[in-house]
Amino acid sequence: MLGLGAGGLVAAPYVQRGMEAFLGAAADKDPTGLTGLLPNGGGFRYYSVASSVPRRGEGDYRLTVDGLVERPATYGLDALRALPQTRVVRDVQCVTGWRVPATAFSGVRLSLLLDAAGVRPEARAIRFTCFDGTYSESLTLPQARRNDVLVCLRMQDEPVSHAHGGPVRLYVAPMYFYKSAKWISGITVTSEVRPGYWEERGYDVDAWVGRSNGRDDTPTV
């Protein structure tokens, strides 16, 4: 029995990674969305509003920063990795109710990219677009400049997987997880907030955990 228990402890991480890979791949090809109801060993559920999402990697991933800025820019993965990195450990709270405690995210502060681009005085908000071709999100400029809003390259101290929105995703620590857009490819500075995919379908634009969407979850900050 002791041997079986020890074997289970050794095998558990490999089984969990295998389940995550399987469920992530299945969700990527599941137009019904039913795989999103299945939690994996890490407590996450996989959601995508597109029937399939192309993969991006070292050779073809690009993140553009444009709109109301003085210096539009395009970043590849190496350029993002070369910038100062910030690590944040917070709970992940989904508006549907599930929560994953103490999850590590690492990447570039969004405020750093905005400062490098030179935001124009008339700017008020940010619009995020994604290479799934469907999803979008938004933040006000003050929200985007928070120190706990990251353009993430790592999640749970590993590179962000495709299923989790990699190679680069957004993480907005104090808001419900739908604000943390996966597969981001565009950061556009705008003169006003443009509601994102779920906001157009009734979700709150300002998605503070415990203070929006009719929920009273414990805040993540």
Yes or no: say if 137 and 145 are a contact pair by the CB < 8 Å rule: no
pLDDT at 52: 86
User: 157 in the Ramachandran plot: left (φ > 0), alpha (ψ -120 to 50) or beta?
Assistant: left
Which pLDDT belongs to residue 2? Answer: 60
What is the pLDDT at residue 12? 35
Please tell me whether residue 149 adopts helix, strand or coil conformation: strand
Residue 198: how many other CB atoms lie within 10 Å: 20
Half-sphere exposure of 151 (CA within 13 A, CB side): 29
A 10 A CB-CB count for 30 gives 16
At residue 206, the 3 state secondary structure works out as: coil
The pLDDT of residue 44: 74
pLDDT in tens, the chain (221 residues): 565 444 444 443 343 444 444 444 444 454 544 444 444 546 677 777 887 899 999 999 999 999 999 999 999 999 999 999 999 999 999 999 999 999 999 999 999 999 999 999 999 999 999 999 999 999 999 999 999 999 999 999 999 999 999 999 999 999 999 999 999 999 999 999 999 999 999 999 999 999 999 999 999 87
Collapse the DSSP code of 195 into the 3-class scheme (helix H, G, I; strand E, B; otherwise coil) and give the result: coil
